């Protein structure tokens, strides 16, 4: 049984005769640790009907004070569903906070570490999965290496499916039983994806995000501030960044910069405005910074862009693609 008190690196899971044998108490409130025996995993890999998605292990840790895990190179997808408390996740030099109602995605073969909060330790359901069918489910859920956390809220139907997995784990391992396990795991993933897409809270967030977008389309009197926008949204900067990126595919700063450059493209059609005046009108105090960013986003310098607009072939000067509309992104996903 893995220790609960220190960070651990991935090792071979021990085998148990039943879930009851895997239930334990070692500083956590209540726990279920349900790995599949090696013989069952071998059958799973070899059977054609089971090849798409394999359940490797699953479990639950309640009020898991001191819980942490560090691993690298594991060929499985790991999902954690936090139902109480909070924790943290680190991968690729970046850090995220995990709160109740969040689903955390740990990509296969990644080097990552997650841990329960020292003051408010999480309660988590978790599952290890493998097989080619896992990736499409992760796309439906909306998670990726860059967006490893989505908020689905507290879902009794999801925790009930985890409990069903724990119960099925005690059945004799034949193909029929493994098919039942696979079907339950697939339904659990689908339920998470549905919860993420159709959550009323998320629809409300999309409406709030539209208000933020309208604010960003105007002149921000004090310049761009992630903290100020997050405050208007009613969330922490980290959570606002996560929601914004999930709905638009971009960070707030990148989104704002693209809108600034699009406005600048339109202003450059007025030959009476000097480049530095255009820069100032769209919020840049430094015209050199403006010109560098303009070239990066529009593909030409401001002077070259204006020359194309005023030439005999103005069609060559095409506006950069507009930032994605969060309301349309929400409609497309729902």
- The string of DSSP codes covering 233-285 is HTS-HHHHHHHHHHHHSS-HHHHHHHHHHHHHHHHTT-TTS-HHHHHHHTT-S
pLDDT range class, residue 221, cuts 50, 70, 90 = low
Please compute the mean of the pLDDT values over residues 227-232 and round it to a whole number. 83
Which residue, among 66, 71, 63, has the nearest Cα to 90 in the 3D structure? 71
Q: Phi, psi at residue 27, to the nearest 5°?
A: 100, -15
What pLDDT, on the 0 to 100 scale, is given for residue 112? 95
Q: For residues 302 and 312, what is the distance between their CA atoms, to the nearest angstrom?
A: 18
What pLDDT, on the 0 to 100 scale, is given for residue 250? 77
What pLDDT, on the 0 to 100 scale, is given for residue 327? 39
DSSP character for 314? G
Q: Which domains are delineated in the chain? A: 19-198 (2.60.120.280), 201-334 (1.10.10.60)
> Which residues lie across from 130 on neighbouring strands?
54
What pLDDT, on the 0 to 100 scale, is given for residue 205? 57
pLDDT range class, residue 20, cuts 50, 70, 90 = very low
What pLDDT, on the 0 to 100 scale, is given for residue 213? 76
**CA 143 to chain centroid:** 4
What pLDDT, on the 0 to 100 scale, is given for residue 171? 65
What pLDDT, on the 0 to 100 scale, is given for residue 74? 92
Inform me whether the pLDDT recorded for 48 exceeds 90.
Answer: no
Element (H, E) at 118: none
Inform me whether the pLDDT recorded for 325 exceeds 60.
Answer: no
Inform me whether the pLDDT recorded for 133 exceeds 50.
Answer: yes
pLDDT mean across residues, the chain: 78
């Amino acid at each position: 049984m893995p220790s609960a008190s220190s960070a651990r690196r991935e090792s071979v899971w021990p085998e148990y005769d039943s879930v009851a044998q895997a239930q334990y108490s070692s500083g956590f409130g209540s726990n279920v640790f349900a790995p599949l025996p090696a013989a069952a995993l071998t059958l799973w890999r070899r059977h054609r009907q089971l090849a798409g998605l394999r359940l490797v292990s699953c479990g639950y840790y309640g009020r898991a004070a001191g819980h942490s895990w560090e691993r690298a190179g594991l060929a499985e997808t790991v999902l954690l569903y936090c139902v109480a408390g909070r924790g943290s996740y680190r991968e690729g030099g970046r850090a995220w906070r995990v709160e109740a109602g969040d689903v955390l995605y740990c990509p296969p073969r990644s080097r990552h570490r997650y841990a329960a909060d020292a003051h408010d330790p999480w309660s988590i359901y978790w599952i290890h999965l493998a097989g080619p069918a896992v990736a499409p489910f992760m796309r439906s859920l909306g998670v990726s290496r860059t967006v490893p956390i989505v908020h689905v809220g507290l879902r009794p139907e999801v925790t009930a499916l985890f409990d069903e997995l724990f119960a099925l784990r005690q059945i004799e391992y034949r193909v029929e039983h493994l098919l039942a396990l696979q079907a339950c795991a697939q339904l659990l993933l689908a339920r998470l994806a549905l919860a993420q897409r159709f959550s009323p809270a998320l629809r409300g967030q999309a409406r709030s995000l539209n208000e933020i977008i309208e604010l960003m389309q105007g002149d921000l009197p004090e310049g761009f501030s992630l903290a100020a926008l997050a405050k208007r949204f009613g969330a922490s900067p980290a959570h606002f960044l996560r929601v914004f990126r999930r709905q638009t595919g971009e960070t707030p700063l990148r989104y704002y910069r693209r809108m600034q450059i699009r406005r600048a493209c339109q202003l450059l059609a007025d030959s009476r405005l000097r480049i530095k005046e255009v820069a100032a009108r769209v919020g840049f105090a430094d015209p050199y910074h403006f010109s560098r960013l303009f070239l990066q986003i529009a593909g030409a310098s401001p002077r070259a862009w204006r020359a194309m607009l005023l030439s005999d072939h103005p069609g060559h000067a095409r506006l950069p693609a507009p930032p994605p509309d969060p309301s349309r992104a929400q409609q497309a996903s729902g």
